[in-house]
Amino acid sequence: EKEKDLLGKHILITAGPTVEAIDPMRYITNHSSGKMGYSIAEDAVKRGAEVILVSGPTHLECPAGVKRVDVKSARQMYDAVHEHFEWADAVIKTAAVADYRPEQESNHKIKKNGNTLMLNLVPNPDILKSLGEKKTHQVLVGFAAETENIIDYAKAKIEKKHLDFIVANNIAQAGAGFKGDTNIATIIKANGEMITCPQMTKSELGDIILDQVKNYFN
């Protein structure tokens, strides 16, 4: 039994991938399983928090006591997150949001005709950045999935998205990133302070992230 040190706190977490439809049978997505976000949601509930989990499509069961809001596309995730932003004391964005979507979703199955098929992609809204621009009291935590220059790229995201801290993980490293039960991460705060998190379960990392979030509550 964990200490209820987050009793009554409202924590909004996003998890999983987004899927961006091409036509009724095809879509663009990524490798996120949702495990990182679901683990944090479960940790937070055990510590007494109220948790809303905005989730892209995953195969995971919703942890007991967590309120899950299911979405598919980045734009749906944007709407769901903004709908609950006022309520939140902290927002933790583990979701792997698609940066681009097909410009048009075809109502009919696109038929092959032997020619090259061009797919125009347009940028999706940056959900975290939009929260950073309107935040008042919320603690804002981002994730950074990188394969090179991890720390520099993650630091740039802290500034661009007005975050309190970011959790950077190297998705090309064994034991880290997508799908598995463990992660390897560096927590980087807006003031430059860093906390190195060696390989551990996603649930253990979740508790370290929540310890940090707690420091920002007064």
Q: Report whether 140 belongs to an annotated binding site.
A: no
Has 149 been annotated as catalytic? no
Structural contact between residues 91 and 140, judged by C-beta atoms closer than 8 angstroms? yes
By the rule CB under 6 A, 97 interacts with ligand PMT? yes
Q: How many CB atoms lie within 10 A of CB 62?
A: 15
Q: Report whether 99 belongs to an annotated binding site.
A: yes
Closer CB to ligand PMT, 16 or 49, in the complex? 16
By the rule CB under 6 A, 45 interacts with ligand PMT? no
Closer CB to ligand PMT, 10 or 93, in the complex? 93
Closer CB to ligand PMT, 49 or 95, in the complex? 95
φ, ψ for residue 7, nearest 5 deg: -55, 125
DSSP-assigned beta bridge partners for residue 68: 53
Nearest Cα to 191, choosing from 217, 218, 161, 166? 166
Q: Tokens 């860093």 — which residue?
A: 194
| Shortest separation between residue 26's beta carbon and ligand PMT, angstroms | 21
- Dist. CA 179–CA 2, nearest whole Å: 26
By the rule CB under 6 A, 109 interacts with ligand PMT? no
List residues near ligand PMT by CB under 6 A.
Answer: 32-36, 74, 93-97, 99, 124, 126-128, 142-145, 157, 169, 171, 177-179
